[in-house]
Amino acid sequence: MAEFTMELNDEQKEVRDWLHGFAADVIRPAAAEWDEREETPWPVIQEAAKVGIYSLDFYAQQYFDATGLGIPMAMEELFWGDAGIALSIVGTGLAAVGVLANGTEEQIGTWIPQMYGDPSDVKVAAFCSSEPDAGSDVASMRTRAVYDEAKDEWVINGTKTWATNGGIANVHVVVASVDPELGSKGHASFIVPPGTPGLTQGQKFKKHGIRASHTAEVVLDGVRVPGSCLLGGKEKLDERLARAREKARKGGERVKNAAMATFEASRPAVGAMAVGTARAAYEVALDYARTREQFGRPIIDNQGVAFQLADMRTQIDAARLLVWRASWMAVNGRPFEAAEGSMSKLFASETAKKVTARAIQILGGNGYTREYPVERMHRDAAIYTIFEGTSEIQRLVIARTISGVPVR
């Protein structure tokens, strides 16, 4: 087990500097264009693939970093560049985590490489969990998967929404209910292979922020997938469902579902994304305050501005430390006894919204225009308190964990 440290080792620093260079030289110059176009930045993803950032090998190296800091470090640097483009680059990772968290070794080896493709033909993947009537309320999921024993196939019907890369993905990971009576405990995750009949893209959303990232509905109409596409396999599913039914009968403890296993693993990473966006806005505001003169002196000479920057930097550093702690705990198998993963996502997300809003205030009228990037950063930051569990849901998770009671 790696000791907890706040100091990156030489290899991590080298990777961080490499990522920072890519973010500064490739992502940032393209940010405004793709935000306006509201399209997937395929050329930037391809550039990331060519240098090895958009690849299974790179993601695996960071995911299995013994210190736990590989993923949050990478997320912070890429999202420092631009949140929309960075999400297009790392969005496939959520589907990959879904397979890593729930799949067999064979499924991991088969499907994750197909999620990325190769530098000459890049692919993306989508994790599909939310529904029009079941976002935070995962127990209300209506997408159904029914097993056809005669053909050893699962038949999936339903509509997913808010899916990053939904409809344009090579591989879709779909969470569906296999036993509605068990609520969220009756969910399972399925791979929908490329070109599977019955899967289509529904509405593509025009969003407030992260506009370079494709977000859409995914419609599943009689989609049939082989039995081997059930993540974890049917034997494991049957055992889990049997335990859930028995515990439901006895009123026993809760059983984690497939979607929640994925979200728990990814929450600190989302926190790191928020830290990256917050840091970017803070740096713009700091540079502006040093150079912008009013009444014959730089505006940073005024306490009203300087104190805001002091608070911004303090909040960013505190958010990063919460993210790093949760990431270290996760990779070292330490249980989140106080919902530390949710804490990191909650604080970092709220920090990103506050810091980007303050950055606009420091830039004044300039900050409200698209001539300066803080306007875009503020729009982007709004998503962190919403996706992969709203701030209200994070507080609910934390409250339930520290109290031991089902707070409603």
Catalytic residue among 33, 77, 388, 392: 388
Question: Is 3 in the active site?
Answer: no
Beta strand 187-192 pairing with 153-164: unpaired
At a CB cut-off of 8 Å and minimum separation 6, what does 108 contact?
99, 100
Catalytic machinery residues: 388
